[in-house]
């Protein structure tokens, strides 16, 4: 593993951003499977603290609570006849941090994995001393200035007002796992990784959670952002195949979805990407959608980025966390409930295996959804509202 040795670590805390979304599967994966036409998305963020340097940063911010105030260019994805047909947000990440005793003045930077609405949150509550850190190519992508100065921009000018915008430079030739890498704190504790494909300037991050000198070596948390949107896009794999026999906890999930016993062979006999039961144990459940409409406009780079992540995923000392992987909330400590507890001890808690296969509880069972949608309709101030009427008042750019 080409990660430099270091005994410097960061504390990593997992936030449930309280963004709950439902979206149509056809823009995310291929093929679309009966019973899994709708994806339910939680939205995760990470609070990173370098105690030795006295610095704190956020990696992603979820969605702003008042999503109706997003730029009109974003609103076209919301609606019953578009991609995202359900949304509910309970709090801004700034509120979650303050509820947990973290002052916004202590946050040195908010790192956006990318500029999409469900990751850049609401910067307005953060003081001007909090910078925004973005990936390479962000400034050249036509996003700036933000809305309303640029009517077609999906980002808000107010997010950048009176604060530094820092674009990471990956031209130093340093790489980790094939990703161009940047040593954020300069001490080997936290790296930003260039991971194009989903959109310009997409970033992943790699946080060292135990030192290299520890028994068993260093451990890491890989924060994937939207490198892909479903863990079944890169699992199983030849390096980490579906276990034989199928673990009991997976069968239990399937049985609970069906309310009667499920045959373990159903997972290999009904694989959407292969009819060979042997290959089904090593082939990712889904392909990322390649043809328009897709959330991966640069599909070749998206595939290359995911392949690099897949190689890291097989390492037992690396916990891979993509932004919409709900199972992480079940097995890792959550800042919302226990602000003082980090996730650095993830390996000692033996949770990687369950997190690794947790996506399987989302897939269809005998052509039926495994569970009800996470949210139905559009919510505002704790209740359903007629978003479609509001949308008609907007001047949405074509």
Q: Do the Cβ atoms of 253 and 309 come closer than 8 Å? A: no
Contact 135, 194 (CB under 8 A): yes
Residue 31 has pLDDT above 60, yes or no: yes
Nearest to residue 351, comparing CAs of 311, 321, 307, 375? 321
Closest of 54, 183, 52 to residue 107, by C-alpha = 54
Q: Between the ranges 15-19, 81-85, 170-174, where is the mean pLDDT highest? A: 15-19
Q: Supply the pLDDT for residue 80.
A: 85
Residue 199: asked if its preceding bond is cis (omega within 30°), the reply is no
70-115 pLDDT, tens digit per residue, is: 999 999 999 988 999 999 999 999 999 999 999 999 999 999 999 9
Task: Give the Å distances, CA to CA, from 311 to 5, 6, 233.
Answer: 19, 21, 13
Answer whether residue 265 shows pLDDT above 70: no
Confidence of residue 367 (pLDDT cuts 50, 70, 90): confident
269 or 185, greater pLDDT: 185
Confidence check: pLDDT of 331 > 60: yes
pLDDT at 261: 61
Q: Which residues contact 365 (CB under 8 A, 6 or more apart)?
A: 35, 254, 257, 258, 262, 266
Query: Would you say 306 and 298 are in contact if contact means Cβ atoms under 8 Å apart?
Result: no
Nearby residues of 201 by Cβ (< 8 Å), 6 or more positions away = 114, 115, 134, 135, 136, 137, 138, 141, 167
* Residue 397 confidence (pLDDT): 86
- The domains located in the chain, with CATH, are 11-235+288-394 (3.60.15.10), 237-283 (no CATH)
pLDDT of 366 reads 81
In this prediction the pTM is 0.96
Strand partners, 242: none
Any idea which of 281-295, 329-343, 355-369 has the lowest mean pLDDT? 355-369
For residue 390, what is the DSSP state?
H
Distance from C-alpha of 226 to C-alpha of 114, rounded to nearest angstrom: 8
For residue 247, the model assigns a pLDDT of 78
Say which residues have a Cβ less than 8 Å from residue 192's Cβ, sequence separation at least 6: 111, 133, 135, 168, 181, 182, 184, 203, 204, 205
pLDDT at 85: 95
Tens digits of per-residue pLDDT, 128-159?
A: 999 999 999 999 999 999 999 999 999 999 99
Burial letters 152-191, b for 16+ CB under 10 A, else e = ebbbbeebbeebeeeebebeeeeebbebbbbbbbebbbbb
pLDDT in tens, 220-253: 999 999 999 999 999 999 999 998 887 787 778 7
Higher pLDDT, 343 or 257: 343
Mean pLDDT of 257-283: 76
Helix, strand, coil percentages in the chain from 3-state DSSP, rounded to 5: 20, 20, 55
Q: What is the mean pLDDT of the chain?
A: 94
- Is it the case that residue 259 has pLDDT exceeding 70? no
Q: Which of 238-252, 253-267, 273-287, 304-318 has the highest mean pLDDT?
A: 304-318
């Amino acid at each position: 593993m080409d990660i430099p040795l270091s005994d410097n670590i960061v504390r990593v805390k997992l936030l449930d951003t309280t963004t709950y979304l439902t979206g149509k599967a056809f823009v995310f994966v291929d093929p679309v499977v009966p019973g899994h036409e709708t994806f339910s998305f939680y939205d995760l963020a990470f609070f990173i603290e370098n105690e030795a340097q006295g610095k704190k940063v956020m990696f992603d911010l979820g969605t702003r609570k008042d999503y109706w105030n997003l730029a009109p260019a974003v609103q076209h994805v919301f609606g019953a006849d578009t991609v995202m047909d359900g949304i509910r947000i309970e709090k801004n990440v700034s509120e979650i941090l303050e509820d947990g005793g973290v002052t916004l003045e202590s946050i040195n930077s908010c790192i956006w994995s990318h500029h999409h609405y469900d990751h850049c949150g609401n910067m307005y509550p953060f003081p001007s001393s909090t910078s925004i850190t973005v990936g390479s190519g962000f400034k050249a992508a036509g996003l700036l200035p933000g809305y309303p100065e640029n009517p077609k921009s999906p980002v808000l000018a107010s997010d950048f007002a009176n604060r530094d915008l820092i674009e990471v430079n990956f031209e130093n030739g340093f790489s980790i796992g094939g990703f161009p890498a940047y040593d954020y704190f300069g001490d080997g504790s936290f790296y930003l990784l260039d991971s194009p494909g989903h959109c310009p300037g997409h970033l992943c991050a790699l946080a060292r959670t135990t030192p290299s000198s520890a028994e068993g070596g260093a451990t890491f948390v890989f924060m994937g952002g939207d490198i892909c949107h479903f863990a079944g896009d890169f699992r199983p794999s030849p390096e980490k195949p579906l276990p034989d026999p199928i673990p009991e906890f997976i069968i239990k999930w399937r049985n609970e979805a069906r309310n009667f016993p499920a045959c373990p062979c159903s997972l290999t006999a009904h694989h959407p990407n292969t009819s060979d039961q042997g290959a089904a144990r090593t082939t990712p459940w889904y392909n990322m959608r390649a043809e328009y409409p897709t959330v991966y406009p640069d599909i070749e780079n998206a595939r290359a980025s995911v392949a690099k992540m897949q190689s890291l995923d097989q390492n037992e000392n690396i916990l891979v966390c993509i932004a919409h992987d709900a199972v992480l909330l079940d097995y890792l400590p959550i800042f919302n409930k226990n602000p003082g507890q980090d996730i650095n001890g993830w390996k000692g808690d033996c949770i990687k295996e369950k997190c690794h296969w947790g996506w399987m509880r989302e897939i269809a069972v005998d052509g039926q959804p495994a569970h009800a949608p996470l949210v139905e309709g559009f919510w505002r101030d704790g209740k359903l509202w007629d978003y479609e009427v509001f949308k008609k008042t907007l001047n949405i750019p074509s």
